[in-house]
Amino acid sequence: MITPRIEMTLEKIAHNARALVALYGSKGIDVIGVTKVVCGNPYIAKVLTKSGIRILADSRIENIKKMRNAGIEAQFLLLRTPSLSHCEAVVKYSDMSLNSELTIIEKLSAYAVEYDKSHKIILMLELGDLREGLMPADLDHTIEQILKMDGIMLTGIGANLACFGGVKPDAEKMNLLSSIAVDIEDKFGLQLEFVSGGNSANYDWFMSTSDVGRINNLRLGESIYLGCETLSRKPIPGLYTDAMTLVTEVIESKIKPSLPYGTIAQDAFGNITQFVDQGEIRRAILGIGLQDVNVSGLTPRIDVEILGASSDHIIVNAKDEELKVGDELEFDLNYAALLAVMTSRYVNKVSSDRVNAHEYCERVEQKYRRHVRRMQTTALKDNLSQLVSLNDSSFNLMFEPSIMENYQYMVREAVYDKIGRISKRLDMEDKTLWIRSAYRSFEHQRLLWEERVNSLKIEYPKKELEEIEELVSYFIAPPSKSMHATGGAVDALIYDLKHDSIMRFGTNDGYKIDLNDKCYPYHPYITPEAKVNRKLIIGLFEAEDFVVDIKEYWHFDYGNISWATEKGKEQAIYGIIEA
């Protein structure tokens, strides 16, 4: 697998999230899941919502948009005080935001009115860490002004500690925040939904107190992903600390001196580094550097010593490890290192779904081979039903341009009726069935086969014809073996009328489909949006007794040998129609 990469074990992240929701919930504190360190990764966002977290927070509106577009069902909090230039997007894409400036809140109000929305805000208070927050003396005036604004709902107060100044969120600070919350509610007749006490640094305070006061919310990131509190980075009992793994590759391994030789000046970053003379050592160079990761935040999982780094390289003393070119090294990361690698576009982001994808694909291939063998023994008794043109139907359908002139999108009579019912169900959702293909003659199939063969010849000029035809056969049947020749096969996608586009199924750009193993219907490493859309189309066809193809999420069979084999029927009712 490609390196460098960050491997995210979703099961461990889910465990940590569930454990923390239960832990803090035991004293009435809700958890907001912070996604900024993982850059709004949709896979992780979905894990958090499934683990009982109902609000996700991110400091970048771009990440919130990404999660919304991926179909993540949650409320979204902008974690950083908005900038004036982002206020419109904040109102459009987030449900609430942290705030400390009246000028910005006024701008949010104006856009909330324009978009006929109610935008919630949590006022941040300065309790000593000297990052964002109102001074307590300015609080009353600020609230008075906010309560006059339209489109803005003051929903809570909060504080941030242990981030900039390292100030502990101890009992004194939390009692102060609680008392301020009570004063606000009494003075202004409000009921604050959120009294947000801080972040992963609040663990020690929480464990040591029997009375959390009015604190009912914490914003957690690091403890979910790295399993530790953040005052001294002690592991939290029962949590995984290895849910995130950085993997990089040895690109050079040689015996060299431990001291640079020659006249010494500044390095690439303006430093004059001091080295320890260890004689000759095995120096291994790894294919990642300061452009991608905070190297001081890495801990190797084997006994090697990090000597230093440049923009693209980490140099290690391999000690007694026999490192060879191509060997992979694993590292634990602290928060700063994790933030850097997740932000770097040069580090591949791999979830446990991706790791499991290899196993899934192997199972699909095994199932396909068994399916092909069983098809050879499946009986056929064609009921001789006629082909009918979908092109001439009254159904609301859309049709993909065909390689064949005057193509009529013919199907058997029963398939025609089933497509009609699917079309009517989609009508109720402002969607339309997009028919890619239906009955295909041998000539039609031959043209598709040859077109794909010729394109791969250009793509892989050094491959033999036999190799190319094997590649083509993964997704296009040879002319005499296609289920489309039975009139019982339909290729389809769904067109969303609201968005005036074909829905995204994970490998398609409009109606053009990239043929790869992610086309397997239940491939785990596709976006949450694609999974939802595949579930929709497969469910519609299965409700009409079709079966989805083992390798193609857009291909559906009814009545033919492939259908009968998959359904365990005694015989197929549609054979090949030669035309």
Closest CA to 475 of 439, 434, 441, 514: 514
In a 10 Å sphere around its CB, with 0-12 CB exposed, 13-18 middle and 19+ buried, how is residue 359 labelled? exposed
36 annotated active-site: yes
* DSSP per position, 275-342: -----EEEEEEES--TTT--GGGEEESSS-EEEEE-SS-EEEE-TT----TT-EEEEEE-HHHHHHHH
What stretch of H or E contains 360? helix 352-375
* DSSP per position, 456-479: HHHH-TTS-HHHHHHHHHTTS--G
In a 10 Å sphere around its CB, with 0-12 CB exposed, 13-18 middle and 19+ buried, how is residue 397 labelled? buried
Phi/psi for 512 (5° steps) reads -85, 125
Count of residues for the chain? 579
Catalytic one of 36, 173, 349, 551: 36
Distance of CA 315 to the CA centre of its chain: 32
Q: Are 188 and 140 in contact (CB under 8 A)?
A: no
Q: Which two tokens stand for residue 31?
A: 């958890």
Beta-ladder partners of 55: 75
Q: Which two tokens stand for residue 578?
A: 């030669």
Beta-ladder partners of 194: 156
Closest CA to 391 of 402, 403, 407, 404: 407
Report whether the peptide linkage leading into residue 4 is cis, meaning its omega lies within 30 degrees of zero: yes
Q: Which amino acid is at 413?
A: E
Closest CA to 258 of 305, 327, 328: 305
Q: Which amino acid is at 264?
A: I
- Cα(150)–Cα(152) distance, rounded to whole angstroms? 6
Q: Are 290 and 309 in contact (CB under 8 A)?
A: yes
Q: What per-residue string of b and e applies to 321-351 under the rule 16 or more CB within 10 Å gives b?
A: bebeeeeebebbbbbebbbbbbebeebbbbb
Residues classed as catalytic = 36
